[in-house]
Amino acid sequence: MNKKLLIGAGVALSLLVSPFSQAFAAEPTVGERKQVDNVAHRGATGYAPENTIAGFDLAVDMKADYIEIDVQRSKDGNLVVIHDTTVNRTTDGTGKIGELTFEQLRGLDAGSWKGEQFAGEQIPTFEEILDRYRGKVGILIELKAPELYPGIEEQVAEALIERNLDKPQNEKIIIQSFNFDSMKKMNTLLPKVPIGVLTSNRAHTTPEALQEFATYADWFNPSYGIVTEELVEQVHSLDMQIGSWTVRSQEAADFLFDMGVDAIISDYPDYVDPRK
């Protein structure tokens, strides 16, 4: 895997890329654009409630390459798929994820806030998502605030290993987080599964920081506000891929296409591929 390769070769290669040579780079064709991975952010969130079966099913129908999910843990140890560390924004309940039992979480309405047609949508379990979507669509797994849930890395790894999803030749699985220590741990637990690091901090885009990430990560996934052509080239020179978030306009999608990223993480899969 790329994180196992020598970093120095990539650094040397980046020195060979000159502005002169870039000036003659061909404009991307429509065919080339379709090679960018289309990642449905928490499902097709622009059209359906985030992190619900309704949203993920719609993303599959829209032919997304990946669904992106957020994993946390209930008070009684069940892995659940929800973004915020509380249920307040996306359900009819209140409270912290880690202070509510699975039964309490499962009893909440996670769809009505998006529209009456989604009433009764539940907070899914991690295992439910794996079993429903593996083989149908790639799954980009974000560990959300793993520092709140000691041992969650081992739980996630166990669920993947039980389903033979720890081998990249079987299914498209990527694990990412803003918590870099957690991702180092995941790399140790699942050395064959691609690892991603998330950031919106320009301090993490220095050559030194990128070289450190490349020792254990396969993906560098920044917010689109800090993406530049130079950053994309640096990431590629270290044999990592780059996926950027969160696209909520056609202009943002077009910008990332022009920058040459490998994946676009969007609430609107149709902004990334107009066929959808």
- DSSP string across 95-151: SBGGGS-HHHHHTS-SSTTT-GGGTTPPPPBHHHHHHHHTTTSEEEEEE-SGGGSTT
Using CA atoms, how far residue 211 sits from 34, 135, 167, 216, in Å, is 29, 33, 25, 10
Q: Which residues of the chain have pLDDT under 50?
A: 4, 6-28, 31, 34
Output the pTM of the full model. 0.89
Using an 8 Å Cβ cutoff, are 177 and 156 in contact?
Answer: no
At residue 70, the pLDDT reads: 98
At residue 215, the pLDDT reads: 98
CATH architecture designation of domain 2-13+28-268: Alpha-Beta Barrel (3.20)
The one catalytic residue in 73, 83, 144, 185 is 83
Distance CA 81, CA 92 (A): 16
At residue 38, the pLDDT reads: 97
At residue 20, the pLDDT reads: 33
At residue 17, the pLDDT reads: 41
At residue 2, the pLDDT reads: 57
83 is catalytic: yes
| Polymer length of the chain | 276
At residue 81, the pLDDT reads: 99
At residue 13, the pLDDT reads: 40
The one catalytic residue in 41, 73, 204, 236 is 41
41 is catalytic: yes
At residue 22, the pLDDT reads: 39
- Domain chopping of the chain, boundaries: 2-13+28-268
At residue 19, the pLDDT reads: 40
Q: Are strands 66-73 and 79-81 parallel, antiparallel or unpaired?
A: antiparallel
